[in-house]
């Protein structure tokens, strides 16, 4: 098998061309072609000598994924089902807004956690993604939306915000996730402050990430203020208590001076009551944080419902009343099953 280049940074590409007897600036040229122009083959790298292009193509490949299915939502959200070289399939979502172009990236094919309300865990865990496979998603979404009819107002039509919030648990694929963040920043030019990593809440991973001192946003999917409720909603992660997760988040804030986001998937009659709102407010008291309420996005076969607007409002106001900044996620892509893992699941059913 040929060595894949997407996933290597400029320095690594420079070392690779040096072995071919080429000057270091060829490494920068390769990086530009792969990450800025998003080309898929060496033939497209027109400022490289033809001889070098042929030589590189014998040993290496750019290594981009294949698009298996595309879904465009009426609101502009675009979801792609991508296939890796070994047939593993993952989802990625492009979210063009009026003033920015965001992309939601997966870090694993499948997921091992199995949150009660999430489609990704239903098919089990397949494998970790390589850094290049994470970054490829942003390049592929960008290319798809640039070539389509969807208007993106951001001036360069480039992905400029990334949420590492797709399939999988990023902190269980730690090294590749951190490498991907550096690539997104240095090679694609996406500001660290525009990158968010969402974790189910693994204290050792959160503490390790704190040491990297990245200016990214950490989002912790808490979903419950008590261990009893958390165990029910995140059964694959009972090793750590809610208090330990919040303590690790506090450490993260202390090390990075970055405000942490807590995500809370709102499930009607399960975790959305006034009691839970008050418990959550007490738990997060004094922590530099922000709560993002995510109304449940229906997954076929699961026994949950999104709360009414009235219930959401009461929950939100209790938190706000306690001085906790709270926002409610605007649902996008509902008509294309944009909740993670759903398209992959759908396509499996179709194939049978």
132 vs 168 by CB, closer to ligand SAH? 168
91 vs 187 by CB, closer to ligand SAH? 91
- What is the Cα–Cα distance from 318 to 176, expressed in whole angstroms? 39
* Contact region with ligand SAH (CB under 6 A), list: 144-152, 179-187, 239-247, 294-302: 294-302
Closest CB 55 distance from ligand SAH, rounded Å: 41
Q: Is 279 a residue of the active site?
A: no
Which one of 91, 160, 169, 272 is in contact with ligand SAH (CB under 6 A)?
169
256 vs 297 by CB, closer to ligand SAH? 297
Which one of 159, 183, 339, 343 is in contact with ligand SAH (CB under 6 A)?
339
Q: How far apart are the first and last CA of the chain?
A: 30
What are 24's two structure tokens?
């270091």
Closest CB 274 distance from ligand SAH, rounded Å: 21
Beta-bridge partner residues of 104:
93, 163
- What is the Cα–Cα distance from 231 to 169, expressed in whole angstroms? 17
Asked if 136 touches ligand SAH (CB under 6 A), the answer is: no
Pairing of strands 195-199, 325-328: unpaired
150 vs 287 by CB, closer to ligand SAH? 287
Quote the DSSP letter at residue 323: T
* Contact region with ligand SAH (CB under 6 A), list: 15-23, 31-39, 112-120, 135-143: 112-120
The closest of 128, 108, 127 to 118, measured between CA atoms, is 108
Q: How many Cα atoms are found within 13 Å in the side-chain-facing hemisphere of 260?
A: 31
Q: Is 289 a residue of the active site?
A: no
Asked if 296 touches ligand SAH (CB under 6 A), the answer is: yes
Quote the DSSP letter at residue 68: E
- What is the Cα–Cα distance from 102 to 162, expressed in whole angstroms? 6
- Site for ligand SAH, rule CB under 6 A: 115, 117-118, 165, 169, 198-200, 221, 263, 265, 294, 296-297, 299, 339-340
């Amino acid at each position: 098998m040929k060595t894949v280049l997407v996933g290597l940074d400029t320095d690594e590409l420079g070392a690779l061309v040096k072995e071919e007897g080429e000057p270091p600036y060829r490494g920068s040229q390769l990086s530009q072609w792969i990450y800025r122009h998003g080309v898929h083959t060496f033939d497209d790298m027109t400022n490289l000598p033809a001889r070098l292009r042929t030589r590189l193509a014998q040993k290496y490949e750019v290594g981009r994924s294949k698009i298996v299915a595309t879904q465009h939502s009426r609101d502009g959200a675009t979801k792609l089902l991508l296939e890796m070289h070994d047939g593993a399939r993952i989802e990625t979502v492009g979210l063009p807004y009026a003033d920015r172009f965001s992309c939601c990236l997966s870090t694993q094919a499948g997921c091992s956690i199995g949150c009660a309300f999430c489609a990704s865990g239903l098919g089990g865990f397949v494998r970790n993604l390589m850094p290049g496979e994470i970054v490829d998603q942003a390049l592929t979404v960008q290319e798809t939306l640039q070539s389509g009819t969807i208007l993106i107002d951001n001036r360069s039509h480039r992905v400029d915000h990334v949420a590492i919030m797709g399939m999988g648990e990023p902190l269980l694929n730690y090294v590749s996730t951190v490498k991907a963040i550096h690539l997104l920043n240095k090679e694609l030019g996406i500001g660290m402050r525009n990158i968010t990593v969402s974790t189910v809440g693994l204290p050792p991973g959160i503490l390790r990430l704190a040491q990297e001192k990245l200016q990214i946003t950490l989002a912790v999917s808490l979903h419950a203020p008590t261990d009893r409720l958390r165990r029910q909603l995140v059964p694959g992660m009972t090793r750590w208590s809610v208090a330990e997760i919040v303590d690790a988040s506090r450490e993260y804030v202390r090390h990075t001076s970055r405000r942490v986001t807590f995500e809370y998937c709102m499930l009607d009659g399960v975790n959305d009551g006034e009691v839970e709102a008050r418990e959550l407010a007490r738990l997060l008291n004094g922590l530099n944080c922000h709560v993002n309420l995510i109304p449940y996005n229906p997954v076929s076969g699961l026994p949950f419902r999104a709360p009414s607007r009235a219930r959401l409002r009461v929950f939100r106001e209790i938190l706000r009343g306690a001085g906790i900044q709270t926002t409610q996620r605007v649902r996008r892509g509902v008509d294309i099953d944009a909740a993670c893992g759903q398209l992959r699941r759908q396509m499996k059913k179709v194939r049978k």
